[in-house]
Amino acid sequence: MKPFVKLSAVAAPLPMINIDTDIIIPKQFLRTIKRTGLGQHAFHDIRYNDDGSEKPDFVLNKKEYRNAEIIITGENFGCGSSREHAPWALLDFGIRCVIASSFADIFYNNCFKNGILPIQLPQKQIDDLMKEAQDNPDAPLEIDLEKQTVTRGNKFSFSFDIDPFRKHCLLGGLDDIGLTLEKNKHIADYEEHTKKEKPWL
């Protein structure tokens, strides 16, 4: 998993509430267990017309936000079914951070396991970030995980909370497998000890 330390990127404003996982990645695209290739289908139903052409008014189809790595959005982001394909699709599209006033619990947890930083901020701060992203799309948003800050040039800087263990995992790029491999020496020592103590196993 790619570590997350600092990010300076375009932020796309998506002023919607209750964006569920079926909006993020519709059910017809869940037939794969690969984490790649899903980005083209992210937000499919609100991103494309029935004939497959892009909807020009959807934020990620606009020239200034096509390379966005941050999404600023409304409350209860990631609600609905607990599909891990949702953060896979976002990450494959290029999204490394989602900022919202609230998240669905399962989606929130899945983000950390896939290298995406979900940041929860008060609605007033979300509104300020949203307006700034709409008014000045070319100005990057700065995310510093070590300092736990969201900064927009010299205009404002907001602090966010994060569980220390989750912060450690993101900074180190550690998913569940990576955490296990951190204990590799202990595992090897145990296996060697067990072979000597119980050679019949």
Q: Are 156 and 128 in contact (CB under 8 A)?
A: yes
> Among 128, 58, 126, which Cα is nearest to 93's?
58
Q: Are 53 and 112 in contact (CB under 8 A)?
A: no
Quick one: which H or E segment has residue 9? Answer: strand 6-9
Residue 30 token pair: 């869940």
Per-residue pLDDT of 157-171, as tens digits, reads 999 999 999 999 999
C-alpha dist (Å) from residue 140 to 57, 91, 108, 118, 133 = 21, 19, 24, 18, 9
Q: What is the pTM of this model?
A: 0.88
Per-residue pLDDT of 23-72, as tens digits, reads 999 999 998 888 889 999 999 999 999 999 999 999 999 999 999 999 99
Question: Which pLDDT score, from 0 to 100, does residue 96 have?
Answer: 98
Mean pLDDT of 135-147: 95
Residue 154 pLDDT greater than 90, yes or no: no
Residue 187 token pair: 């595992």
**Residue in the block written with tokens 């020009």:** 56
Mean pLDDT of 106-131: 96
C-alpha dist (Å) from residue 20 to 56, 104, 143, 150, 179 = 22, 9, 24, 25, 29
Q: How confident is the model at residue 201 (pLDDT cuts 50, 70, 90)?
A: low
- Write the CATH number of the domain with boundaries 6-174: 3.20.19.10
Q: Are 23 and 45 in contact (CB under 8 A)?
A: yes
